[in-house]
Amino acid sequence: MRKPGQVFLVGAGPGDPELLTLKAVRLLGCAQAVVYDRLVSAEVLALAPPLARMVPVGKAPKVHPVPQEQINEILIDLALDGLTVVRLKGGDPLVFGRGSEEVAALNAAGIPVEIAPGITAAQGVAAATGVPLTHRGLANGLRFVTGHCRDDRPLDLDWPGLADPDTTLVVYMGAANIAEIAARLTGQGMPASLPVLAVASATTPRERRLVSRLDRIADEAAAAQFSGPVLFVIGRVVSLYQSCPAEILAMLAARPVQEAAYA
C-alpha cells in the first residue's frame, strides 16, 4: 500500500484572488488534486498546476450536489492514492465552512491535515466598503451567525442575545430569511431605524451594495434581486459607510455616543 498523501484545508477568501494568503497560493501551487466549492472563482483555481486533478463539489443553498459525507470520502480516496490534496473553500474553512467535519473524517482515516485560514466574507465586506466591524462608541464587539437553515427547519437563534445594539451582527447565508431575522430583532427591541448593509459577491467585479434599515431591509433586498452570496451587516457601524443615507446619519447623531469598553 502506498504512503497516504496529505490534505490541506485552505481558505480561498471572499472572492478577490489578491485576498488569498501567501500560504494558500503556495499550497495551491503544490496541489496534485484540488477539491473545490462553488464559490471559488476561476482566477483562484487557475493558480493550481495545469496537471492537477480538479474536483468540483459545489454546494448551493438548499442544493447539495455532493453530500458532505461523500466529500469526506473523495478527500480520503485522493489522499489514499498518495496525492497532495488541496480542499479549497470560500472564505475561512473554520468559519461556517464545515472544515472541522472534514478534518475529523481525515483524522479518523489516519490522513494528515493542515489548515490555512482565509479572509472571511465579513472582513472582505468591511475592507471593501470601509464599514468597520468594531468602532469605539458604535460597536465594542462582533457576532457572526448564519441565517441558513438545514432542511427548511425554522431558524433557531438566540434572539434576545442577538438584539444587542453595542455588537455588530453579521449574518452569513441570510438572503432567504432576512425578513424573519429583521422582524425578530425588532421584536426584541432593536430600533427599526438601525442601519443595515447588504453586500452581494463582495470583493468581486460583481459586487453590489445596499444600505437600508432594519424595517426595510427585507423589501429592499428582495427588490434588489441580488445574485451570488449576500452578507448582511447590522449595526451602528454601518453609519460610517461613505454614502450612508442622511436619515440614518441623523438618527445616529441624535443618539448619545457611548464610550465603548476597549481602548
Note the Cα 111 to chain centre separation in Å. 27
The backbone torsions φ and ψ at residue 138, rounded to the nearest 5 degrees and listed phi first, read -120, -35
Q: Quick one: 82 or 187, whose CB is closer to a copy of itself?
A: 187
Look at residues 150, 130, 163 and name the one whose alpha carbon lies nearest to residue 235.
Answer: 163
The answer to whether 1 is a known catalytic residue is no
Site residue total, a copy of itself (CB under 8 A): 75
CB 138, min distance to a copy of itself, A: 9
**DSSP-assigned letter for residue 155:** P
C-alpha–C-alpha distance, residues 55 and 26, integer Å: 19
Catalytic site includes residue 59: yes
Of 73, 109, 144, 193, the residue at the interface with a copy of itself (CB under 8 A) is: 144
Q: Which is nearer to a copy of itself, 140 or 193 (CB)?
A: 140
End-to-end CA, the chain: 57
Residue 135 binding a copy of itself, by CB under 8 A: yes
* Rounded Cα–Cα distance for residues 11 and 31 (Å): 14
| 81 vs 186, beta carbon nearer a copy of itself | 186
CB of residue 25 to a copy of itself, shortest distance in Å: 7
Contact yes or no for 68/98 (Cβ under 8 A): yes
Q: Which of these ranges, 79-87, 135-143, 179-187, 244-252, lies near a copy of itself under the rule CB under 8 A? A: 135-143
Mask 18-57, x = binds a copy of itself (CB under 8 A)? xxxxxx-xx-------------------------------
Choose, by CB under 8 A, the member of 53, 148, 184, 216 that binds a copy of itself.
148
Listed ranges 75-83, 131-139, 192-200, 220-228: which one lies at the site for a copy of itself (CB under 8 A): 131-139
Element (H, E) at 141: strand 141-146
CA distance 80 to 34: 15
Question: Active site includes 173?
Answer: yes
The nearest distance, CB 97 to a copy of itself, in angstroms, is: 8
Q: Which residues make Cβ contacts (< 8 Å) with residue 49, sequence separation at least 6?
A: 29, 30, 31, 32
